[in-house]
Structure 1
Amino acid sequence: MFKFVSGFCAAAADTPNMERHCTSVTRTPLNSVRVQRRSKSKSYRQSIRSCLGAASRLVLTPALTARRLNTSRKAPKSLDITEKVNPEQLSLLVKKEWQLSYVTPLYQFRHTQLKSYSRQLSAFIAAEKQRGLAVEVEGTHGSFRVSFGVVQGMSEADDDAETVLVQIYSKPLFAVKDEPPRAVWSGWLTCINGSPDYLRSLPKDFTCMPLFCSSGADGLSSLVKSWFQLTFDCCFGPLEISHTSLQWLVALWTNCHTESAIKHLKMMWTVPAASPLKVTYTVNGPDAWQLWSSVRKERHDGSNKEEEEEEDSIDIEEVMRFMQDLKSHFYRHFRTDLSAGSLDQVATALGSAKSSGRIKIANSKYMITTLTLLTECALLKMPI
C-alpha cells in the first residue's frame, strides 16, 4: 500500500563520507489614517535603526506574544478564488517556488501610493547599481524597472490588508527592437486571516502584511528588503516551516483528496544516525485518504448532532494520530523509526513545502488554507 523510495539509503551506504539521504486603488486596513508624505531626512533617520530599533515603535503586544500555533483549523474546501481575484495576477503566484520571510508591520505604508513606490524602488536600485552594489542578473543588460500592484480579492477578513505584488523587469541582453522587458524578480506581501486581536491592537500608522514571498536573484531580494526597511521602518527575517507546520500541511492536503484526487503524498525525513539518513516516504493518494478517514471516523464515532456539525474542523490530535499511524506503518515494513527524525519536506499535487522556508502552491483552489497557516507562522515568528 505504501511506497518507500530507498535510493537515498542505498547510495548513502556506499558513500560513508557523504550525507545520506498594475497599479490600483484599494483599502489599507481600517485602522490606518490619511496619507502623510514623509521627509527624506526622517526616512533616513529611521533607516539607521536596527531591527530591534524598528520593532521598538511597536510596544510588546500580548495579543501576539502570548499566542501559540492554533490547535484547531477549518478543513480546507475547494474555493474558486478566480471569482474574486484576477486570474492573470493569480497565475503569477501559483506553480512557482517562493522563499518565505516574515516582515514586521510597515510604518505609513499606503496602498494608494504604489506608483510612487515603484519609482522610488527603481531609483534605489539604480543608485545601488552606481555604487557597485546592485546585483547583475544573468541574461539582462542590467537596467531595471519596478512595478507595484494590488492583488485584489485575496484578503479574507476585514482586518487583512490587500496583498501587494512587486515585480522587477529588465530587457534581455540581446533583445530585438521593441521586445518588452521580462520579469526577473517577483515578490509579494500578504496577510490572510491574520489574528484580529493583534491587527486591531496595532497603532493606526502601521500596516501588517507579515508574510513575504520572493522568487529571483538573492541580490535583488536583499535590495528590495533594504528599501522596505529604509522606507517603512520594518525588518525582515527568515521564515522556516516548522516540523509541526509541515505535519499540518500533510493532514490539510490529504483532507482535500476527495475533491482534488491527489495521486501521491510524498514526505522526506532526516533520521539521525552516524551518517544522517535521508528517507523519502511516498504514499498513494487513495491509501493516505483511507488512513486519514479512519482517524477522522474515530473522532466522530458516537458524537452527537452538534459535534457532527463541527466536522469541518481538524484538531491537532487528529494530525498527530495520522502522522503516528504513517510512521508506525513505515516501521513495520522497514524497521526505521521516523519518530526519531524530523520531517523536512512535504509534496502533493496541491503543492510542496520545505522546512527551509520554500513553498510552492500548485492549485489556487486551496491556497487560502495554506496561506492562512503561513500567515500565522509569520506572525508568531516576528520578534515583537
Structure 2
Amino acid sequence: MFKFVSGFYCSIVNMERGHSSGVKTPPTRGVVQKSKNKTYQQSYRSCLRASSRFALTPALTARRLNTSRRAPRLHNITEKVRPEHLDILMKTEWKLAYVTPLYQFRHTQLQSYSRQLSEFIAAEKQQGLAVEVEGLQSSFRVSFSVVPGMTEADDDAETVLIQIHSKPMFARQDKPQKPVWSGWLTCINGNPDYLQSLPQDFICLPLFGSSGSEVLTRLVQSWFQQTFDCCFGCLEISETCLHWLAALWTNCHSESSIQRLKLIWTIPVKPVLQVTYTVNPQDAWDLWSDIRKEPGEENEGEDGRSVDIEEVTRFIQGLKNHFYKHFKLDLSAGPLQQVSTALGSAKYSGRIKISSSRYMITTLTLLTEGALLKMPI
C-alpha cells in the first residue's frame, strides 16, 4: 500500500514478508616510537576486538565527533586531481576501514611497493590462499600511485591509490589486463595535534576504502600489516555521522541540487520493518533553512557560518516528526541505516559512494575524523 502527501514520500517494508506502504508528508520551514615486533601487533589486534560506534572510541572514550564544523564549501578539485583518478573515486561504492599509522611508509617508494605486493599475492596464490577472482586468473599486477590534489591541510599526507589488474587465464595473449580490485588510503583535514605528535617514521593515512574481492582486500591489508606494522579495523558509519551527512548534503542544495533526500531506518519489531523515507529536495531545504534562521544560532567561522550538532539534531527530529504525524511510528525506535542524495550515499555498514567531486572534501573530512577516533591508540 502506498500513500502520498505533498512534499515527502515514504515506504515501509516488512523485512520478512515483503509487504510495503508509503506516504508523503507536508513541508515545514612527541609520543614514544613504536617498535616493529609481534607484541606490538598483538596489542593492536587485541584492541580491534573491542566494539565501538563511529562517534566513540574504546581507547579514548572522552573523544567524539566534533559538535561544530564548517558549512560545506565548493571545492573545484577537478583543477588539481587528474580526471582518471576522479573517475575511479566517484564511480565506485567503497567499503571503509580505518588503519593505524604506517611505519616507514614512503611515498617515493610506490613503485617498489607495487612489485612487493604483486609478489606477495603471487606467493599466497601458490599456497592456495588467494582464491580466484572473476574466474581463473593468470597473474596479478599491482600499481600504487599518488593522487595529487587530494589533501586539504598542511599536515595531510598525500592520498595513495592502489589497483590490482588481472585477466582470465585462458584469455588471448594480446588482451590487456583489467582492474579487479581498487583501494585508497587518505587523510583529509586530519587532527593537527595528533598528526604532529607522531614520530618522524610514521605516516598517517587513517581512512581506507576498498572495492572488489574480499579475499584481495584481506591480502592487501595483510601485506600492509606485515610491511608497515599497522592494523586495520572495520569502520562503521555511526548514526551520528549519518545525521551529519544528511544535514551537510542538504545544506548544499542551493548550489548543487540534491535531487532527493533518502533515509532508511530499521525498526526492531517482529517482523523487522525497513522504513524508506524520501524527501522532496525543496522541502528538505525549507526545513533546514528554517532551522538555520532561528535566532541566537549565528555562528560565523573563518569561511562562513558553521554547522552545529544542535541544528543537525533538530533537522533530523523535524523529519521524524513529519513521519510520526502520518504513521504514528517513532523512527527513534530504530537505527538510521542509510542516507543518500545526488551528492552521495552512506550506509551504517561502512559503505560510501561519493557522486559529486565538488563536495568530496567535505565528506572525506568527516570520514577521516571518524577513522582517527576509531583507532585503538
Q: TM-score, normalised by structure 2?
A: 0.86
Tell me the equivalent position of 1:273. 269
Tell me the equivalent position of 1:19. none
Asked whether the equivalents of residues 65 and 380 of structure 1 are also in contact (C-alpha less than 8 Å), the reply is no
Asked whether the equivalents of residues 249 and 343 of structure 2 are also in contact (C-alpha less than 8 Å), the reply is yes
**Structure 1 residue 370 and structure 2 residue 370: aligned?**
no
In structure 1, the gaps of 5 or more residues are: 16-30, 32-41, 56-62
Could you report, residue by residue, the CA deviation over 1:287-335 in whole angstroms, capped at 9, with x for unpaired residues? 100110000011467x5xx859875310000000101111001100111
Could you report, residue by residue, the CA deviation over 1:36-84 in whole angstroms, capped at 9, with x for unpaired residues? xxxxxx97x55993252799xxxxxxx9775321001111122210111
> Taking structure 1 as reference, are residues 189 and 132 closer, same or farther at Cα in structure 2, changes over 3 Å only?
same
Cα RMSD (Å): 2.5
In structure 2, the gaps of 5 or more residues are: 1-5, 21-30, 48-58
SS at 1:138 equivalent: coil
Tell me the equivalent position of 1:109. 105
**Structure 1 residue 327 and structure 2 residue 320: aligned?**
yes
Shift, 1:339, TM fit: 1.5
Asked whether the equivalents of residues 64 and 379 of structure 1 are also in contact (C-alpha less than 8 Å), the reply is no
Tell me the equivalent position of 1:37. none
SS at 2:294 equivalent: helix
Q: TM-score, normalised by structure 1?
A: 0.85
SS at 1:365 equivalent: helix
Amino acid aligned to 1:160: D
Amino acid aligned to 2:13: F
Asked whether the equivalents of residues 300 and 307 of structure 1 are also in contact (C-alpha less than 8 Å), the reply is no
Tell me the equivalent position of 1:159. 155
* Dislocated runs of 4+, deviation >4 Å: 45-48, 63-66, 306-311
Distance of 1:13 and 1:87 partners within structure 2: 42
Amino acid aligned to 1:97: E
SS at 1:312 equivalent: strand
Equivalent residue in structure 2 for 1:223, among 219, 224, 244: 219
Shift, 1:11, TM fit: 7.3
Distance of 2:221 and 2:195 partners within structure 1: 22
Equivalent residue in structure 1 for 2:308, among 271, 290, 315: 315
Asked whether the equivalents of residues 186 and 215 of structure 1 are also in contact (C-alpha less than 8 Å), the reply is yes
Tell me the equivalent position of 2:245. 249
Distance of 2:328 and 2:267 partners within structure 1: 12
Distance of 1:308 and 1:360 partners within structure 2: 28
**Structure 1 residue 262 and structure 2 residue 258: aligned?**
yes
Equivalent residue in structure 1 for 2:375, among 361, 373, 382: 382
Tell me the equivalent position of 1:182. 178
SS at 1:77 equivalent: coil
> Taking structure 1 as reference, are residues 330 and 9 closer, same or farther at Cα in structure 2, changes over 3 Å only?
same
> Taking structure 1 as reference, are residues 104 and 308 closer, same or farther at Cα in structure 2, changes over 3 Å only?
closer
Distance of 1:308 and 1:216 partners within structure 2: 40
Show the 5 A alignment for 1:188-207.
Answer: 188-207=184-203
Distance of 1:358 and 1:70 partners within structure 2: 21
Could you report, residue by residue, the CA deviation over 1:336-382 in whole angstroms, capped at 9, with x for unpaired residues? 11122110000100010000000000111101000000000000000
Distance of 2:248 and 2:164 partners within structure 1: 34
Amino acid aligned to 2:41: R
> Taking structure 1 as reference, are residues 156 and 65 closer, same or farther at Cα in structure 2, changes over 3 Å only?
farther
Equivalent residue in structure 2 for 1:49, among 38, 41, 51: 41
Distance of 2:203 and 2:40 partners within structure 1: 21
Could you report, residue by residue, the CA deviation over 1:85-144 in whole angstroms, capped at 9, with x for unpaired residues? 111111111121000000000000000000110010000001101111012111452410
Could you report, residue by residue, the CA deviation over 1:127-180 in whole angstroms, capped at 9, with x for unpaired residues? 101111012111452410100000011111111000000100002345334221
Show the 5 A alignment for 1:85-100.
Answer: 85-100=81-96
Tell me the equivalent position of 2:117. 121
**Structure 1 residue 6 and structure 2 residue 11: aligned?**
yes
> Taking structure 1 as reference, are residues 141 and 52 closer, same or farther at Cα in structure 2, changes over 3 Å only?
closer
**Structure 1 residue 361 and structure 2 residue 354: aligned?**
yes
Tell me the equivalent position of 2:77. 81
Asked whether the equivalents of residues 247 and 323 of structure 1 are also in contact (C-alpha less than 8 Å), the reply is yes
Tell me the equivalent position of 2:130. 134
Asked whether the equivalents of residues 108 and 205 of structure 1 are also in contact (C-alpha less than 8 Å), the reply is yes
Distance of 1:102 and 1:226 partners within structure 2: 14
Tell me the equivalent position of 1:21. none
Asked whether the equivalents of residues 16 and 272 of structure 2 are also in contact (C-alpha less than 8 Å), the reply is no
Q: Give the total of aligned pairs.
A: 348
Among all aligned residue pairs of Structure 1 and Structure 2, give the percentage whose two residues are the same amino acid.
66
Equivalent residue in structure 1 for 2:283, among 283, 287, 290: 287
Distance of 1:153 and 1:318 partners within structure 2: 32
SS at 1:8 equivalent: strand
> Taking structure 1 as reference, are residues 136 and 308 closer, same or farther at Cα in structure 2, changes over 3 Å only?
closer
Amino acid aligned to 2:44: L
Distance of 1:190 and 1:264 partners within structure 2: 29
> Taking structure 1 as reference, are residues 335 and 66 closer, same or farther at Cα in structure 2, changes over 3 Å only?
closer
Amino acid aligned to 1:257: H
Distance of 1:298 and 1:140 partners within structure 2: 61
Shift, 1:237, TM fit: 0.3
Asked whether the equivalents of residues 263 and 277 of structure 2 are also in contact (C-alpha less than 8 Å), the reply is yes
Distance of 2:302 and 2:369 partners within structure 1: 25
Distance of 2:231 and 2:320 partners within structure 1: 39
Structure 1 or 2: larger helix share? 1
Shift, 1:263, TM fit: 1.4
> Taking structure 1 as reference, are residues 14 and 92 closer, same or farther at Cα in structure 2, changes over 3 Å only?
closer
